[in-house]
Amino acid sequence: MAEEIERDENVVLLGEEVGQFNGSYKVSEGLLEKFGPKRIVDTPISEAGFIGMGVGSSMLGMRPIMELMFWSFYSVAFDQILNNAANVRYMSGGLINCPIVIRGPANGGTNVGATHSHTPENVLANHPGVKVVVPATPYDAKGLLKSAIRDNDPVFFLENTMLYGEKGEVPDGEYLIPLGKADVKREGTDLTIVTYGRCVLHSLKAAEVLEKEHEISVEVVDLRSIRPLDIDTVLASVAKTHRVLIVEEQKPFCSIATQIAYMIQHEAFDELDAPIKRLSTVDAPAIYSPPIEIEQLPNPARVIKAALEVMA
């Protein structure tokens, strides 16, 4: 964010506690001191108000980055995000762009209860005109966020608070990762795991165990971008392994995995040697008890169990 704010005078950061408090999760630490209160703007606790302001400013040429303290609060600004921002280019015949980025944490597992633990990527991606990004690694997070900020469409950038403490390679300087391009995080020949976000890490850990203890070679495809969706990379992997497990931190009904499973069977049915299997969050509001919430969400043990079922 600092690089993009420095590069383009139209890039600003707005949100609850992004300035004086350095961000609820310290993502914006030091930015207020560096860029001042006209570029780093603390907002009232009114998502409908400040998201609406961001949408309007983007239509006038600004490139605002809007931080939601939790993506669970997107519903307060549903009209601004998914009625106005998503449709303004279409409604204006291509004359008005809306280059806004809305970012913040979207995940369970932090013991904050059902009203603060939503993963709304399926709801967001259901609307034409927007882009939805869910990074899994530090390397991808930087390259994808820079591309999102420079994009002329609304980009919804869903982060996972459980990943904020993860360490990994982040190159210095300028690099971009195109939106809509999946990444094969691990090569394999027996089973394809299609996943994104924190579930990429669970899947990679599970793949190591499956290789070592069961001699199963697992390919892990990280979608990175939900919309646009790189289905070609998924299908190429399916053609190689002929078995598919889709892992997501979504409730199973009307989820991202539902869409991907349909697309695979529609485009590559003859490549499948077994039914497609999905592993999702257990279909209930986020459970407050930490030990039970861990089992409600995907985890390496659940991924291994599901993978063995596909292989059987």
Are 18 and 119 within one domain?
yes
Residue 252 in domain:
yes
Boundary-marking domain end, from 163, 197, 217: 163
Structure confidence at residue 173 (pLDDT): 84
How crowded is residue 113: how many other Cβ atoms within 10 Å of its Cβ? 14
**Amino acid, res. 61:** G
Look up the CATH number of the domain holding residue 249: 3.40.50.920
pLDDT (tens digit per residue) in 20-59: 999 999 999 999 999 999 999 999 999 999 999 999 999 9
Query: Closest Cα partner for 137 from 193, 196, 180?
Result: 196
Percent of the chain with pLDDT over 70: 100
Spatial distance between the Cα atoms of 16 and 272, rounded to a whole number of angstroms: 47
Are 146 and 258 within one domain?
no
Are 81 and 197 within one domain?
no
pLDDT (tens digit per residue) in 190-248: 999 999 999 999 999 999 999 999 999 999 999 999 999 999 999 999 999 999 999 99
Whole-structure pTM value: 0.96
Are 68 and 196 within one domain?
no
Are 101 and 159 within one domain?
yes
Backbone conformation region of residue 239, classed left if phi is above 0, alpha if psi is from -120 to 50, else beta:
alpha
Spatial distance between the Cα atoms of 304 and 191, rounded to a whole number of angstroms: 12
Structure confidence at residue 270 (pLDDT): 97
Q: What is the mean pLDDT of residues 274-300?
A: 96
Spatial distance between the Cα atoms of 244 and 220, rounded to a whole number of angstroms: 10
pLDDT (tens digit per residue) in 28-38: 999 999 999 99
Are 22 and 105 within one domain?
yes
| Contact predicate 16/41, CB 8 Å | no
- Name the residue range of residue 43's domain: 2-163
The partner residues of 271 in beta bridges, in order of sequence, read none
Residue 83 in domain:
yes
Annotated catalytic residues are 116
Structure confidence at residue 70 (pLDDT): 95
Look up the CATH number of the domain holding residue 127: 3.40.50.970
Q: What is the mean pLDDT of residues 96-104?
A: 97
Structure confidence at residue 276 (pLDDT): 98
Are 56 and 94 within one domain?
yes
Q: What is the mean pLDDT of residues 68-93?
A: 96
Are 230 and 155 within one domain?
no
| Contact predicate 247/303, CB 8 Å | yes
Residue 62 pLDDT > 90, yes or no? Answer: yes
How many domains does the structure of the chain reveal? 2
Are 115 and 156 within one domain?
yes
